[in-house]
A and B are shown apart, each in its own frame.
Chain A
């Protein structure tokens, strides 16, 4: 199996590389470059998934590594232009991932555990933010660009960086749960926490960056707080509209619901890119509406969307891997690894305290930590804002933050998969999945 997958990767790489030699390096071929990159990444990512299955590793790690290996920074088969053309696929993927997460969150079902989930989310975030704030505050005394900063300026830098790095990854959690078909309390709690926490992170980032803009008034960029209301409420509104359309379609028409769901999310992503809507919030609001308000329920549409979910995940995470700035990471590796370690420590400590407060099992709390380690979509989106909004210190601090995200991106999925396996939830999911002919059921 592994040999065949490697042979296929080699063949597709050779074909794509040969095609790339048609035009000089850097020349643009409109449209076809994106189709070529899409096909290449999808085929190679599926082969990587097969290898990962054999090695008992998460497929997501395989997708990310494939993107990293063939992206612009290393092999260069996928060029920066091709990646830019795939941005729409990425936006759709984020929307789909959030939609699937929303469809799995039945608030009535979760109500008895809402206090535990809320407390754990709050304390793990707090634990991570405190330690990250400390390390980034200390780093301002080491980085040349922040050496002359005043205390309040150092606080602003540390606050923004800690806020970005505190983000979790609903995308990775949904992706891992989807591929392993895991079911159980750990799966459900992890998913609930990452979704809830990322909503909070998006809001707190707007607050902390507004504070930073106040401290560095000469810097460009509008007040993030003034953008907050239209951004968040506009996204939620668009999501509710999309959810309503999907519910109407599912009840009145019903056929090809998966394709229709994908098309609706694609249009939301296209519109969202222009209207500055957050695809995560749009998808989540649509999924939550379907699962908790409509009679249709989220499960029907999330199952229908499964046929398009696998290729979407593969492309999304491969693109995430391809976007990794490997050279920059190498320069900041020690700081980045240190920040990632402290983040993990903060989450673990927060989970321990929360476990004592709400009466969770200590082993469960430890395993839960691993579900909160991965980072991807939201964190990367926030880093992009950090890099763009705060010159000259934004690019320097942002590179360290990005390095830390890379570490969490590569290690997080592996640890979470192992935690699910240790909790016996993967086996439970596989058994249920076998009965349902491969359909995944998260809840």
Chain B
């Protein structure tokens, strides 16, 4: 088994050598999917999930496209399979067959939070996007809001994978231009903790090298000994603290134990250092390249991407001629007449976004896995925003891109009766992975799913 190398990854990304049967080195070391017993176990897991849904998906990627869209330029025309992409999504035309665009889904959780007087037009949509929970508690007068509940569905999918025996290098990849915060964090744990956005690639990848098997094993044993000692340090400290301190140390200990488990199943994923581009346009590509490389060697099966926080101080995109910040543009297009330049600029933002999504999907499709499928085939990408339009959250701009070996019936514009609960879509997304959930989020919202609208007949 060879580790993935940068050269191999580039071959995969670029599709230059299309005759390559598989991307070299997509494998695990001493890993889950090696050995007859583990393979049999994996088949059993697969069979159990197949009993819930045909072709359960394997990889989940959530993208948050902040600050909503313009309905007149975002929703397609036509219906069902006979639809025409609107101008903001036009760049997705080459992958239209993998696409589901939706209309009629409301983020009722965010609406209700606003009605209750706790919303601000953004944070409630961000934090409910994948959780179905309102957020209330917060750090005083900051842009940092705590969610009242979790987990977000990326965490649920990750936990399901682990329950089924998969142990990646990380539970999930979380990348973006922003740190954690109420306007940017969509991946939220059951305990309301939020994922860090990290650019530390050493967590995901091994550096290229020529270490012998003995050296690798010694390093593994050494790290385990060190980690054991660290866990002992934290365990000793625990009885000496209480309250919030104890909660924090408990969480730290749980993470250490999770890391320890991962050490025992070492997924190797070798990659050169990714240089950090100064340019925001290239950094966006880098985010997707990192996810592609990591997923190609099964270092992770879940990822969330928040390009930029929502709300005030939004991003500027000088590389596509957008100097005004996106959040401000999102308001300008509400109040300005159609001929106003803000519409073209806001569309430029969405087209740029769509071009990036296209590139990402094409890269995923270009990578062949050991079983002959492509990396995209078992992948579901869910793209959402915290708002639809003008701080409101009906008709959310939700978009799904899914491979053929998932339950989704793609290549369609799915227009639903108005006011469908977005939590039902979250249930459908979970069930697409073979999860048996019937409800996501706050129990005040009814159970239900949108499987019939989205899954293959």
Q: Do A and B bind each other?
A: no
Binding site for B on A (CB under 8 A): none
